[in-house]
Amino acid sequence: MINQEFLFQTIFSFHISEKSNGCKGKNNILVLKVSKNSTKREIKLSVIKMFQLKVRKVNILNVKGKKKRKGKDIIIKKNWKKAYVFLQPNQNLDFLNN
């Protein structure tokens, strides 16, 4: 059995961008920021338990941190992992109505 602490360590937040909003509306996909060492199976189980949604499949993408220049210094942002969670056709995650 999965405990609540494990669920909150796997999924950090929703990734909000123009591309993720387009995926959500058109293809019924959630885009999430997840921990670096989480697997597809762990992400799938976490989404099922936390949001009570039926998941079709999960794709994972490792995002490399960008280099930013601030004056003379170069700042390197941290690497992170993004998960595309494909939902079943009749499933929807709408915060305003739920």
Contact between 63 and 79 under an 8 Å Cβ cutoff? The reply is yes
Where in the chain are the domains?
4-87
Chain center to CA of 8 = 12
Task: Please state which CATH class domain 4-87 belongs to.
Answer: alpha beta
Is this model's pTM higher than 0.85 or not?
no
Q: What is the pLDDT of residues 8-42, one digit of tens each?
A: 789 998 888 888 877 776 788 889 999 999 999 99
